[in-house]
Each structure stands twice: as C-alpha cells, then as structure tokens.
Structure 1
Amino acid sequence: MKRVIIIGPCGSGKSTLARELAPRMGLPLVHMDQLGWQAGWVETEKAELRARLADAVAQDQWLIEGNYGSTLAPRLERADIVIYLDFPIRLCLWRLIRRIARHRGQPRPDMPEGCPERFDLGFFWYVMNWNTGPRVRTERAIAPWADKVVRLSSPRALAEWRKANRLG
C-alpha cells in the first residue's frame, strides 16, 4: 500500500488514525484540512485547493485523510486502498464534543496555524445530518472504486483490521 485514503464522518478518528498509520507505513501524511483552510478559518479557493491536492496526489506515495467530497475523484483514481471509518454518528458526535473541549482555542495537529478549535453549530449540524447528506454523496463517489474500499463500522472492527494487517 503506497497510496492510502482515510475517509469517514467528522469525529470518526480519521486524523488520529492517519497520524498513527503514516509513520508505520512509511508514507508522507497529507491532511485535507491543512490544504482546505488558511489562518482565520478562511477557506482555500477551490482552484488553489485542487492545485495543492494535485501536487500531493502526483507523488508516488501518500496517506491522505479527509473527505472533501469534491476532491475525492483524483484521490480515488490513484489510491491503492480507501479506509472508510463508517462509525455510528452518535460516537462521532461524542468524539467531536471531546475534541472541541480538549483543543478549544488552539489549532489541532491536523489543522493549519491560525485555525483554533471552536464550537460551530453549523458544523455540528452537518455531522448530525451525515447519514442523510454527506454520507449519500460519499457512498456515490466511492461506489466505482468499491474494490479498494475497506469499510470499518466500529472502533473494534478498526482494531481487528489493524491487527490483521500488522498496523497496530
């Protein structure tokens, strides 16, 4: 596995898993949030985001974590494997609340400087509605590459997959 994607609902643990797996697999790590945001919570222009992502995807090896549905296609085309953390939304919401409390006022390791963690009702609502919107779009996007997708439905399933693949 030289090119890995990790996707899933916000709060599923994509960034944490990526930070653990990238060094074990010897892969450079790319966080989509670092490409997609600039200081002050300013979104990167779409053309610039696509250019930044194209540079990353053109490399021979990478582990890219994050959804950013509009950017999935170029990643899926080159990926060897897609790890889909398809965890229950109630777990993701709990993890999201815990993450906000832990990092409040400071940027997380997977975010650019100048983007301190904060509670955002719109973002929380987005996660609450994952199953009726973002999930549907994600499922549609990954369907043509189903043979590359490893869907893990719980932290236990993830732990078993990691053990079976000697990745933890």
Structure 2
Amino acid sequence: MKKILIIGSGGAGKSTLARELGTILGLEVIHLDAWYWNPGWIETPKTEWQSIIQDLTRRESWIMDGNYGGTLDLRLSVADTVIFLDFPRLLCLSRVIKRRFMYAGQSRPDMASDCPERLNWEFLKYIWSYPIIRRPGILEKLSQVRPNQQVIILCKPTEVRDFLQNILQIQIYTIDFYERK
C-alpha cells in the first residue's frame, strides 16, 4: 500500500483514519479539504483544482482522504488501495454535529486555515442523501477497479479499529522479522 485513497460520507471518519494509518505506515497524509478550501471558505477554481490533484497524485506515496467527485476518477486511476467508509447516515450526522461543537470557532486540523468549523443544511442534506445519491455510483466505480488495486469497504467503527490493528500487527511483524536477520 503506497497510494491509499480514503472516501466516504462526511462524518465517516476519513481524516481520522488517514492520520492513524499515516502514523502506522509512515506515509504522507493529504487531506483534500485543506487543499481545496482557501481562507474564508473560498473554493479553489475547477481548473486549478484539477491541476492540484494531478500534482498530488504524482507523488511517490500518500494517503489521501476526501470525496470531491469531480476528481475521483483521476485519484482512483492511480491509487493502489481504496478504503470506502460505508457508514450509516445517522452515525455520520451525529459525528458532524459533535465535530461542530468540538471545533466551534476554529479550523479542524485537516482543514485549511481560517475555515472555522461550520454546519449548514446543505451539508446535512448531503450526508443524509449520500447513501441514496452518491453511494451507488461509488460502488459502481469500485467494482471496475483494476485487478492490482485493492478495495476495502468498512461499514462500522469496529471494522476500522480491527483494520488498523491488523495493519499495526503486520508492521510490527515485518519490523521484527527484519531485525532478526
């Protein structure tokens, strides 16, 4: 796993998983929200965004979290591993509401500076409709990945914890194996 793409609904825990996996694997973590948003919640123009994504995906290795459907095909074409957090909408909604209070008046660590945490109806509707509107298209795209690409679908927080624990155990075993030589 050298180029890992993490996707899923808002509030699924993409950024948290990316940070934890980055620590375990020692890979650069790229939070797309931090690259897309400019101070004051100003969006990056589409042509500039495409160029940024092309540059980011050319890096040798990374863990990249974020949706941004307009660039998903490009990111899928270069990722060797895709992790889809396919969590229930109520869990995702509760997490973004909690996050809103946790980071009230400040920017999250995975967000661009001067973009204080906010919550609006548009985002809540996006999360609520995600399983109906976005999920089928994502599953279709994931069904078409190349044979050398790995797709991991995690549906519950316990599956994420188990996944991270397994990766950690593999890393520990690998380090121990090479130290014994």
TM-score bucket of the superposed structures, by smaller chain: over 0.9
Q: For residues 72 and 166 of structure 1, what CA distance do their matches in structure 2 show?
A: 28
Moved runs in structure 1, 4+ residues, more than 6 A?
A: none
Deviations 1:138-165 (A, max 9, x none): 2233221175210011011111122222
1:158 aligns with 2:153: no
Contact 1:69 1:137 in 2 (8 A): no
Residue equivalent to 1:10? 10
Contact 2:3 2:80 in 1 (8 A): yes
Residue equivalent to 2:178? none
Q: For residues 47 and 110 of structure 1, what CA distance do their matches in structure 2 show?
A: 23
Residue equivalent to 2:97? 97
The total of aligned residue pairs comes to 168
Residue equivalent to 2:177? none
TM-score normalized by structure 2?
A: 0.87
Q: For residues 167 and 34 of structure 2, what CA distance do their matches in structure 1 show?
A: 28
Give ranges in structure 2 of 5+ residues lacking alignment.
Answer: 172-181
Query: CA RMSD of the aligned region, Å?
Result: 1.6
Identical aligned pairs, as a percentage? 39
CA drift of 1:76 comes to 1.0
Q: Which amino acid is 2:158 matched to? A: R
- Residues 35-50 of structure 1 correspond to what in structure 2 (within 5 A)? 35-50=35-50
Q: Which amino acid is 1:84 matched to? A: F
Residue equivalent to 2:52? 52
TM-score normalized by structure 1?
A: 0.94
Give ranges in structure 1 of 5+ residues lacking alignment.
Answer: none
Worse-superposed segment, 142-151 or 79-88: 142-151
Q: For residues 93 and 4 of structure 2, what CA distance do their matches in structure 1 show?
A: 25
Residue equivalent to 2:179? none
